[in-house]
Amino acid sequence: MTKDLSTKAKRLLELSRLVRHGIPEIEFNMGHFIRSPLPDGTALVQCGTSGCIAGYAVALYEPKSFTRDNECRLEDLAAEILGLSFTESKDLFFARTDGQPFLNEGESLCTIKADHAARVLEHFALTDEIDWSQ
């Protein structure tokens, strides 16, 4: 008998597939701002990381949140959408394992590739553990 997955696990797995395969308009990148085009053609900065896990979660589940009037921090909305605790959101969105940075000092979140992030999401969905070292 297989165990039914929680809503959180299902969303993490769906998100891992999206991160792995991409969104045409948003390149996956953990180290840039996500921008949404405004009617006047300019870009709206929405969060501290772009095409990141948090940005992809909001694009997948709450795309209407990319508005000029939205004052909510994107990472907070993504954490709520995914059912993450404060610690889980910081570890997942800022590449930490047990609160410790995965990257060496001076390295950028930009070095994290989509496939790596997708593996972390899958592992988290199945084990409830965020492990960037894999």
64-77 pLDDT tens trace? 776 555 545 778 88
7-21 vs 53-61: helix crossing angle, rounded to 10: 110
Q: What pTM did the predictor assign? A: 0.80
Yes or no: say if 130 and 92 are a contact pair by the CB < 8 Å rule.
yes
Judged by average pLDDT, the poorest of 40-49, 64-73, 77-86, 120-129 is: 40-49
Q: Where are the domains of the chain?
A: 7-126
Helix (H), strand (E) counts: the chain:
5, 4
What's the rounded Cα separation, in Å, for the pair 58 and 84? 13
Q: What is the pLDDT of residue 49?
A: 42
Q: DSSP 3-state assignment of 8?
A: helix
Quote the mean pLDDT of the chain.
Answer: 80
The mean pLDDT value for 75-103 works out to 89
Adjacent-strand bridge partners of 26: 23
Q: What is the pLDDT of residue 43?
A: 47
